[in-house]
Each structure stands twice: as structure tokens, then as C-alpha cells.
């Protein structure tokens, strides 16, 4: 009698790339997520080893698809740019996102945010930012040894990792690049590019006008010389 050998097959673990929950609860929250994500990508555009993403699942533990978070915005130093459906840490040289941003919406609850804080603390986040656009409150936590410790950012705060500066005004949060330029919305960026284009076109037009006026002046000078010579007057002896 031949005994049939049964090979045990381990089912493939699926790491979902979406949970069906909207990225944002309202336009204000969505706008801030986009501002942070797009401006950070612009800031690190020339550094190939800085990965910036918004609202994708981060899986820190292999073979466990229940341990996950989807930060509103995250920054990973030491990993290449490129598209990803999710951030699977074991496929990324086991490098966790070092900076995480969460933008609050009315649906967020303190208990939920506390759980996120502990989660990010456990899995290696170095800087954790929570911004509430309704109350204009920024909470900054920075890793101190093995935990994330909230710091006083009321007088302005410069991120040690990102180099950007946060300033709270009466009605909004303002963020500045290391070179002093302000983080802008996509509309403001488009308007800035248009303004720069118009200024460049105006400068070219002014240069062309100056050259045309110079050429006209040369022509008038030549006409004057010809008139003097016609009267037997040597211009060099004047």
C-alpha cells in the first residue's frame, strides 16, 4: 500500500492596501494633508533616499497584517523614492518612518489618538506631530530614549530631522522651509509659478525694449554724422 504524502501549504498572507475608510473627513483636513505631503516632497526632491507618503498602510511586522497604521503623512529617511501600495518595513531594510503627521478631524477621539501615540512610540517614530486645524493647536512629541515625549512648541519649533519651522498664528499654522520659504497650497504654488513666469516675461520685454531704444539711438547718431559730413564737418574735430 502506497501512503500518500500530504504537504502542508502555508496560506499567503495578504497585506491590504485599503480599508475603505476615506482619507479625510472634511476639506480642511484633506487640504492640510496635501500641503504637508506635497511640500515635504518638494523639500526633499533632490534627495533620492527620502521617501514621503500620505495615507498608506505601514506594516512594521512581517507575517502579521493586523499590526498596521496609515499615518496622514510620513517621512522615511534612508529609503528610495517610488510608488508603493503599502510600506512593508521588512522590505525596506527594516527602517521605520521617522516622522509622522496626523491631522485631526471632528471624528477623532482622545482615546484613539492616545493609542496611536503608543503605537508610533512602540514602532520607532522619532518625531510625531498632531495638528488640529479647528483649534489651531499643534502637539509635538519627540523620541527621548524609548518613548515619545511631548515638548513645548508654543514659541516656534524647528524639526531636527526635517529642518522645517512651525509657527502658530492667531488663525492658522505656518510652516517654513530651512531657506525661509513658506509651505504653500497647490493653488498658491501655481500662482507663485505664474507670477514668476510673468516677471520673467516682463524682464525679457524690458530688455528687448532697452535694446530697441539703444538701436534707435545708434541710428539717430549715424544720421547726425552723415548730416555733418554732408556739410564738410568732421565730427572727430568737434
- Interval 36-87: pLDDT, tens: 999 999 999 999 999 999 999 999 999 999 999 999 999 999 999 999 999 9
Whether 68 and 178 map to the same domain: the answer is: yes
Q: What does the alpha-carbon distance between residue 235 and residue 232 come to, in Å, rounded to a whole number?
A: 9
6 within some domain: no
pLDDT computed for residue 25 by the predictor: 80
- From 144, 164, 183, the end of a domain falls on 183
Whether 68 and 169 map to the same domain: the answer is: yes
Domain count for the chain, please give it.
2
Tens of pLDDT, residues 123-168: 999 999 999 999 999 999 999 999 999 998 777 899 999 999 999 9
76 pairs with which residues across the strands? 51
221 within some domain: yes
Domain that holds residue 222: 189-237
Q: What does the alpha-carbon distance between residue 24 and residue 32 come to, in Å, rounded to a whole number?
A: 10
Q: Determine which of 18-22, 49-53, 183-187 has the lowest per-residue pLDDT on average.
A: 18-22
20 within some domain: no
Whether 133 and 198 map to the same domain: the answer is: no
pLDDT computed for residue 9 by the predictor: 56
Nearest to 70 by CA among 81, 84, 91, 80: 84
Amino acid at each position: 500500500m502506497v501512503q500518500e504524502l500530504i504537504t502542508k501549504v502555508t496560506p499567503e498572507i495578504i497585506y491590504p492596501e485599503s480599508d475603505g475608510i476615506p482619507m479625510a473627513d472634511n476639506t480642511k483636513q484633506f487640504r492640510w494633508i496635501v500641503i504637508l505631503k506635497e511640500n515635504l516632497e518638494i523639500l526633499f526632491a533632490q534627495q533620492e533616499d527620502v521617501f514621503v507618503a500620505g495615507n498608506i498602510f505601514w506594516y512594521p511586522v512581517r507575517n502579521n497584517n493586523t499590526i498596521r497604521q496609515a499615518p496622514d503623512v510620513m517621512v522615511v529617511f534612508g529609503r528610495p523614492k517610488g510608488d508603493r501600495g503599502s510600506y512593508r518595513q521588512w522590505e525596506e531594510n527594516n527602517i521605520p518612518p521617522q516622522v509622522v503627521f496626523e491631522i485631526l478631524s471632528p471624528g477623532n477621539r482622545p482615546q484613539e489618538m492616545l493609542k496611536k501615540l503608543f503605537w508610533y512610540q512602540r514602532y520607532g517614530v522619532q518625531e510625531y506631530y498632531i495638528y488640529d486645524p479647528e483649534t489651531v493647536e499643534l502637539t509635538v512629541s519627540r523620541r527621548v530614549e524609548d518613548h515619545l515625549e511631548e515638548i513645548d512648541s508654543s514659541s516656534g519649533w524647528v524639526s531636527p530631522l526635517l529642518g522645517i519651522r512651525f509657527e502658530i498664528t492667531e488663525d492658522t499654522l505656518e510652516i517654513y522651509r530651512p531657506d525661509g520659504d513658506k509651505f504653500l497650497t497647490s493653488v498658491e504654488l501655481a500662482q507663485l509659478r505664474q507670477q514668476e513666469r510673468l516677471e520673467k516675461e516682463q524682464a525679457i520685454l524690458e530688455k528687448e525694449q532697452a535694446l530697441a531704444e539703444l538701436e534707435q539711438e545708434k541710428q539717430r547718431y549715424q544720421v547726425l554724422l552723415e548730416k555733418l559730413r554732408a556739410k564738410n564737418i568732421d565730427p572727430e574735430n568737434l
